[in-house]
């Protein structure tokens, strides 16, 4: 996930060149549906608070190995702070609400984030990224 400043005035933006790729559930060889939820969270008051989320749907034909989800581009309303990204997936037997399995993937490595923000301080850490105030507004965390 890259963290950048886009537009004028600059907006803090979280984005990816490609979306998540999900593999089919090994629980069944039949057609499957999958729901994917992307969530951007900000650390506030001692806990992770969702500031944006989006749900996507996909499906696997019998024998299809993967589903490609859309790329991410989101500009949170809050600027500086500590953020992380989370992906949640649930697989279903096609056309039903019968779950085959689920998985939650939380960005947990410093390499999960890339700072490309020349207009503000930004530091990728293990499991999160800290973003500061715009330098034109004094910078700092």
CATH code for the part of the protein at 2-137? 2.60.40
pLDDT given at position 20: 92
Query: Is the pLDDT score of 3 beyond 90?
Result: yes
B/e letters for 39-77, b = 16+ CB within 10 Å, e = fewer, are bbbbeeeeebeebbeeebebebeeeeeebebeebebbbe
pTM: 0.87
Q: What is the pLDDT of residue 35?
A: 98
pLDDT tens readout for residues 35-47: 999 999 999 999 9
| pLDDT per residue as tens digits for the range 75-132 | 998 889 999 999 999 999 999 999 999 999 998 888 888 999 999 999 999 889 999 9
Give the pLDDT band (50/70/90) at residue 60. very high
Scan for tokens 């996930």, then name that residue: 1
């Amino acid at each position: 996930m890259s963290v950048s400043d886009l537009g004028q005035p600059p907006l803090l933006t979280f984005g990816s060149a490609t979306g998540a790729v999900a593999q089919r559930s090994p629980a069944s060889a039949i057609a499957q549906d999958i729901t994917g939820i992307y969530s951007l969270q900000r650390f506030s008051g001692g806990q992770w608070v969702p500031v944006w989320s989006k749900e996507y749907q996909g499906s696997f034909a019998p024998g299809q190995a993967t589903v490609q989800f859309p790329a991410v581009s989101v500009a949170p309303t809050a600027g500086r702070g500590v953020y992380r990204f989370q992906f949640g997936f649930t697989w279903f037997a096609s056309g039903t609400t019968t779950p085959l399995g689920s998985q939650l993937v939380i960005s947990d490595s410093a390499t999960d984030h890339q700072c490309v923000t020349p207009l503000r301080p930004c530091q990728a850490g293990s499991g999160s990224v800290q973003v500061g105030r715009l330098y034109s507004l004094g910078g700092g965390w």
